[in-house]
């Protein structure tokens, strides 16, 4: 018996999906539209906003959120989120600073130790999550509280104050500063190095996400962990790895904070975790996982940078910033939702 | 009826055992049984699977169908009888071992990630890569091409392998899962109630792909509770009830009516009618049940 295989008439139906609707199907499209609108808006109300120096400042503001948003976006696509990221940045900076200062060592020893610790915190978050099967909200909320307490308690116990002693005259400070907190002069404008680190990390994350096995596993783990496991995807390793990637991002930003200011305030960082999550969500990552992009998170961070500095350039009261951010979050997510539904129907 | 068990000399293209050079089955279960503690989940089940043949397993809920496929797919181990693969007695200890033996199961929940594109789903967990070291990357073009080709070979006409698999209909998704199993070297395909959640038309689509898989030389085990789905595609029929085999037939030895009657359990319906009557049940209901009994009897004779 033969079964008449209907000759696929593929092309005819593919043609229906135009380039425009394909573009509209991208996760970051809502954020992109919002970013362009916001840029035009601030350019109109505050001409100073368009000056190269201002743009460099906006980019710097975006990079300090964006570096973390890279890891947070990947984690969110992988189906989890992390509330401990804000204080984890400070923990990493404190670790490097206090260790080097207490033992009077080259700061690079502290820097490497901080990296190990940050990856370790990520590993523990992931490992507890997998072992207990608790939601990541609970596990990382606990980590957030514990790290907050440790930051304050240990800093006072070791350094005797709420902020760390300055490490600016210690061995290795200058070279570490050159890597984590210097500026690059481009056509007469000083651009902070974090902008380049940020863009580099976005590029690597996008590559990993779209062009490697691991990226496939991240999407699958977030989209449907059981289905992924059934076809042999190492879901446990993927999720733990994602938490460790977030830890790595926290380390990078923590080192920037340390070497930009030479001293760290132990109570800082609380609340920043929401900014990272907001950047990822504005950028089109689904809270439920399985959908999103690293570039989206970057655009989300850029929107944050623009809103943050644009308000200053427009000479408005910065008190309004949070309201503005909330509105952006709501609008961007609604646009994402509408665009996604449209694209799926076509 | 219970004594109508057939002997399997009607092997057509079974592989040959090099030692005895008598035909052997791809899979063969002989008086297989399984119990969980003191609960007997399955006993005395005999069935065979051959390349290019469809073996249907029919039974109502709790008949032991799941237990049977779990034994074949390596999720559970049998306690009695023998289970042979190409004439060699085996006890599969994990799904991985079953896969290595060429036995792939497509479950009802399908193991697809609905937000991911079709081609990514097709290769999920077995991605093709190109390049070395840090530049090792997915071979996207090749994977898309293979996905398209494999689906076309199954006669599946898809718009675009880039679209999320969640946009496909239930039947199409089943077919992608079947095509995936075929591509990754399955020799025996276990389909667990593939038509249970589908409408009439979609069921037809899936049944057609079962025949496609058969024509490509796979041995198919098709689990269903619907004789109307099983009869047109099946070559052999195993009927299970309460963990026991109540019949094993070649297609030429049974008609759709007989199959339906066996499934419905005519004797039990008659018993139910008497019981309802004795309890002073509503006469309409009793009449209905009796009518049903009459109909089944009529079909049987």
pLDDT at A144: 95
B28 by DSSP, 3-state: which?
strand
pLDDT tier at B270, thresholds 50, 70, 90: low
Query: pLDDT tens for residues B235-250?
Result: 999 988 888 888 888 8
CA A24 to chain CA centroid, nearest Å: 23
CB contact under 8 A, A14 and B159: yes
Residues pairing with B103 in the sheet: B188
B56 by DSSP, 3-state: which?
strand
pLDDT at A290: 87
CB contact under 8 A, A231 and B125: yes
CB distance from B113 to chain A under 8 Å? yes
Under DSSP, the state recorded for A163 is: B
Query: pLDDT tens for residues B54-86?
Result: 999 988 877 888 888 888 888 888 888 888 888
Where is pLDDT greater, at A88 or B297? A88
Is the CB of residue A63 less than 8 Å from the CB of residue A301?
Answer: yes
CB contact under 8 A, B124 and A228: yes
Give the whole-angstrom CA distance, residue A306 versus residue B61.
61
CB distance from B114 to chain A under 8 Å? yes
A57: distance to nearest CA of chain B, Å? 33
CB distance from B201 to chain A under 8 Å? no
Under DSSP, the state recorded for B79 is: S
Give the Å distances, CA to CA, from B144 to A10, B98, B159, B271.
14, 27, 13, 58
pLDDT tier at B1, thresholds 50, 70, 90: very low
Tell me which residue in A10, A17, A216 faces B124 most closely, judged by beta carbons. A216
Structure tokens at B5: 């068990």
B155 contacts on A by Cβ (under 8 Å):
3-6
A233 contacts on B by Cβ (under 8 Å):
124-125
Rounded to the nearest 5°, which phi and psi values hold at A325?
A: -65, -40
A191 by DSSP, 3-state: which?
strand
Count CB pairs under 8 A between chains A and B: 92
**Which one, of A218, A189, A264, lies nearest residue A70 by Cα?**
A218
Is the CB of residue A85 less than 8 Å from the CB of residue A300?
Answer: no
pTM for this model (two decimals)? 0.78
Give the whole-angstrom CA distance, residue A239 versus residue A221.
8
CB distance from A224 to chain B under 8 Å? yes
Structure tokens at A189: 């404008």
Residues pairing with B24 in the sheet: B15
pLDDT tier at A204, thresholds 50, 70, 90: very high
The full set of domain ranges for chain A reads 29-345
The full set of domain ranges for chain B reads 1-102+187-263, 115-185, 265-301
B137 contacts on A by Cβ (under 8 Å):
207, 211-212
Give the whole-angstrom CA distance, residue A244 versus residue A251.
10
- Substitution target in B98, B116, B145, B164 with the highest count of A β-carbons within 10 Å is B116
pLDDT at A6: 44
CB contact under 8 A, B158 and A226: no
B52: distance to nearest CA of chain A, Å? 11
Is the CB of residue B114 less than 8 Å from the CB of residue B106?
Answer: no
Structure tokens at A344: 């799926």
Tell me which residue in B111, B159, B215 faces A231 most closely, judged by beta carbons. B111
- Substitution target in A19, A27, A224, A284 with the highest count of B β-carbons within 10 Å is A224
CB distance from A216 to chain B under 8 Å? yes
Is the CB of residue A183 less than 8 Å from the CB of residue A190?
Answer: yes
* Burial environment of residue A28 by CB neighbours within 10 A (0 to 12, 13 to 18, 19 or more): buried
**Which one, of B267, B264, B273, B265, lies nearest residue B291 by Cα?**
B273
A6 contacts on B by Cβ (under 8 Å):
155, 157
pLDDT at A180: 92
Give the whole-angstrom CA distance, residue A238 versus residue A218.
6
Place of tokens 């990754």: B184
A4 contacts on B by Cβ (under 8 Å):
155
pLDDT at B221: 92
Residue A151 pLDDT greater than 80, yes or no: yes
- Kindly give, in sequence order, each residue whose CB lies less than 8 Å from that of residue B20, ignoring residues fewer than 6 positions away: none
Classified by CATH at the fold level, domain A29-345 comes out as ABC transporter involved in vitamin B12 uptake, BtuC (1.10.3470)
* Nearest chain B residue (CA) to A15: B159
pLDDT at B295: 63
**Which one, of A104, A317, A140, lies nearest residue A242 by Cα?**
A140
Give the whole-angstrom CA distance, residue A219 versus residue A230.
15
CB contact under 8 A, A10 and B160: yes
CB distance from A131 to chain B under 8 Å? no
Place of tokens 């047109």: B232
CB distance from A213 to chain B under 8 Å? yes
Give the whole-angstrom CA distance, residue B12 versus residue B232.
19
CB contact under 8 A, B116 and A220: yes
Tell me which residue in B127, B154, B212 faces A216 most closely, judged by beta carbons. B127
CB contact under 8 A, A227 and B111: yes
Report ipTM for this prediction.
0.79
Is the CB of residue B24 less than 8 Å from the CB of residue B87?
Answer: yes
Q: What is the mean pLDDT of chain A?
A: 87
- Start-end of H helices in A232-293: 235-261, 272-282
Under DSSP, the state recorded for A48 is: G
Q: What is the CA radius of gyration of chain B?
A: 22
Rounded to the nearest 5°, which phi and psi values hold at B29?
A: -110, 130
- Kindly give, in sequence order, each residue whose CB lies less than 8 Å from that of residue A89, ignoring residues fewer than 6 positions away: A68, A250, A253, A254, A257, A269, A272
Structure tokens at B293: 């009994």
Place of tokens 């290795």: A172
Please state which of the four CATH numbers 3.20.20.70, 2.60.40.10, 1.10.357.10, 3.40.50.300 is assigned to the domain occupying B1-102+187-263: 3.40.50.300
Report the phi/psi class of residue A90: left, alpha or beta, with left for phi > 0 and alpha for psi in -120 to 50: alpha
């Amino acid at each position: 018996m033969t079964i008449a295989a209907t000759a696929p008439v593929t092309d005819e139906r593919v043609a229906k999906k135009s380039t425009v609707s394909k573009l509209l199907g991208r996760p970051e499209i809502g954020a992109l539209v919002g970013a362009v609108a916001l840029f035009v808006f601030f350019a109109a109300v505050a001409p100073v906003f368009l000056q190269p120096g201002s743009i460099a400042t906006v980019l710097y503001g975006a990079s300090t959120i964006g570096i973390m948003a890279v890891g947070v976006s990947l984690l969110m696509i992988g189906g989890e989120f992390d509330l401990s990221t804000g204080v984890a940045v400070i923990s990493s900076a404190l670790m490097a600073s206090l260790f080097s200062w207490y033992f009077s060592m080259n700061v690079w020893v502290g820097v490497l130790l901080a990296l190990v610790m940050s990856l370790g915190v990520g590993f523990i978050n992931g490992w507890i999550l997998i072992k207990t099967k608790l939601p990541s909200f609970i596990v990382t909320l606990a980590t957030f509280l514990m790290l907050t307490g440790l930051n304050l308690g240990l800093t006072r116990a070791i350094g005797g104050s709420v902020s760390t002693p300055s490490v600016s005259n210690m061995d290795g400070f200058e070279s570490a500063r050159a890597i984590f907190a210097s500026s690059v002069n481009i056509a007469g404008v000083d651009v902070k190095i974090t902008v380049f680190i940020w863009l580099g990390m976005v590029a690597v994350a996008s590559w990993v996400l779209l062009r490697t096995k691991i990226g496939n596993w991240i999407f699958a783990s977030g989209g449907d962990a059981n289905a992924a496991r059934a076809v042999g995807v190492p879901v446990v390793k993927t999720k733990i790895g994602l938490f460790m990637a977030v830890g790595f991002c926290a380390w990078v930003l923590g080192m920037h904070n340390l070497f930009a200011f030479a001293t760290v305030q132990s109570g800082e960082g609380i609340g920043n975790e929401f900014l990272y999550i907001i950047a990822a969500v504005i950028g089109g990552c689904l809270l439920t996982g399985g959908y999103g992009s690293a570039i989206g998170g970057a655009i989300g961070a850029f929107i944050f940078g623009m809103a943050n500095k644009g308000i200053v350039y427009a000479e408005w009261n910065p008190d309004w910033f949070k309201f503005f951010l909330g509105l952006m979050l709501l609008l961007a997510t609604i646009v994402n939702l509408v665009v996604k539904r449209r694209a799926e129907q076509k | 009826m219970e004594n109508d068990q057939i002997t399997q000399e009607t092997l057509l293209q079974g592989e040959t055992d090099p030692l005895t050079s008598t035909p052997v089955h791809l899979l063969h279960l002989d008086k297989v049984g399984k119990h969980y503690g003191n609960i007997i989940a399955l006993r005395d089940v005999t069935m065979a699977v051959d390349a290019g043949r469809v073996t249907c397993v029919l039974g109502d809920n709790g008949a032991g169908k799941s237990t049977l496929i779990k034994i074949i797919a390596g999720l559970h181990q049998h306690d009695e009888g023998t289970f042979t693969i190409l004439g060699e007695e085996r006890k599969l200890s994990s799904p991985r071992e079953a896969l290595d033996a060429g036995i792939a199961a497509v479950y009802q929940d399908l193991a697809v990630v609905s937000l991911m594109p079709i081609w990514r789903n097709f290769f999920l967990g077995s991605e093709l890569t190109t390049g070395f070291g840090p530049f090792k990357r997915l071979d996207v073009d090749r994977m898309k091409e293979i996905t398209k080709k494999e689906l076309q070979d199954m006669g599946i006409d898809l718009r675009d392998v880039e679209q999320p698999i969640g946009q496909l209909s239930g039947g199409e998704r089943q077919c992608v899962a079947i095509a995936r199993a075929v591509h990754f070297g399955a020799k025996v395909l276990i389909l667990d109630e593939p038509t249970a959640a589908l409408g009439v038309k979609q069921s037809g689509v899936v049944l057609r792909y079962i025949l496609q898989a058969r024509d490509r030389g796979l041995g198919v085990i098709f689990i269903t509770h619907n004789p109307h789905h099983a009869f047109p595609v099946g070559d052999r029929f195993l009927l299970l009830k309460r963990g026991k085999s109540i019949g094993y037939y070649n297609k030429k030895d049974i008609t759709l009516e007989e199959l339906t009657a066996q499934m419905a359990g005519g004797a039990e319906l008659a018993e139910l009618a008497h019981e309802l009557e004795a309890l002073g049940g509503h006469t309409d209901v009793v009449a209905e049940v009796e009518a049903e009994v009459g109909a089944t009897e009529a079909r049987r004779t």
